């Protein structure tokens, strides 16, 4: 009798294990961000740019509504660079022990890449008094994050479309800088 019970229990255990793990389906909602990015296909994607249409009101009279396509071509690296800066402003994920590098109120006003320099135009909320370590961390984070883009070697920060000498009072950023070349202000 004990053998029969052991066999039945083992059989149930094996069957339930197979049923539980073998029949598991991948839910569409559980696809990770990395998988989404790998499968992302953009319309009319060409080497360094993406072409797409933006639709605007082309109505000539109120009785005949028309929506007209306006073609746009966007540099992929500038789009990614802008996203990188937005993520830096947003700060680390909630579960992380990492610290934000810029105040949450900071806004990215513009972003462009020219001659291997990423031009980052921030709102005035980014300029606050920082310790030497905090400012160096901020500048290195920006430079290292943007240098992941093949066309970026240095970063030039501006604020409200104006050149600035420092963002936190300790380092000279009047000229473009890289992660390795952040110059302290001579006091």
* Residues 148, 78, 80, 139, Cα dihedral to 10°: 50
Whether residue 90 lies inside any domain: the answer is: yes
Residue 121: CATH number of its domain:
3.30.300
What would the pLDDT profile of 114-158 be if each residue is shown by its tens digit? Answer: 999 999 999 999 999 999 999 999 999 999 999 999 999 999 999
CA distances from 165 to 1, 52, 72, 127, 141 (A): 87, 38, 35, 11, 18
Whether residue 145 lies inside any domain: the answer is: yes
Positive or negative, the Cα torsion across 146, 30, 23, 4? positive
Whether residue 46 lies inside any domain: the answer is: no
Compute how many other C-beta atoms are within 10 angstroms of the C-beta atom of residue 13.
Answer: 10
Whether residue 153 lies inside any domain: the answer is: yes
What would the pLDDT profile of 22-69 be if each residue is shown by its tens digit? Answer: 555 544 444 455 565 555 555 556 677 888 888 898 888 888 888 988
What would the pLDDT profile of 167-181 be if each residue is shown by its tens digit? Answer: 999 999 999 999 888
Return the closest-CA partner of residue 160 out of 135, 130, 137, 127: 127
Q: Which domain holds residue 177?
A: 74-184
What would the pLDDT profile of 80-113 be if each residue is shown by its tens digit? Answer: 999 999 999 999 987 888 999 999 999 999 999 9
Domain count, the chain: 1
């Amino acid at each position: 009798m004990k053998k029969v019970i052991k066999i039945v229990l083992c059989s149930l255990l094996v069957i339930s294990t197979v049923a539980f793990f073998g029949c598991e389906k991948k839910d569409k909602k559980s696809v990770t961000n990395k998988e989404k990015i790998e499968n992302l296909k953009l319309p009319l994607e060409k080497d360094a740019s993406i072409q797409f249409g933006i639709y605007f009101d082309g109505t000539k009279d109120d009785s005949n509504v028309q929506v007209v396509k306006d073609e746009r071509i966007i540099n992929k690296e500038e789009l990614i660079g802008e996203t990188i800066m937005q993520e830096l402003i947003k700060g680390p994920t909630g579960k992380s022990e990492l610290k934000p590098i810029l105040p949450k109120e900071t806004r990215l006003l513009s972003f462009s890449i020219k001659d291997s320099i990423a031009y980052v135009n921030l709102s005035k909320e980014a300029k606050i008094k920082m310790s030497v370590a905090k400012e160096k961390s901020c500048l290195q984070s920006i430079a290292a994050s943007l240098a992941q883009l093949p066309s970026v070697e240095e970063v030039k920060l501006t604020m409200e479309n104006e050149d600035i000498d420092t963002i936190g009072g300790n380092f000279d950023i009047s000229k473009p800088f890289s992660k390795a070349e952040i110059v302290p202000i001579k006091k």
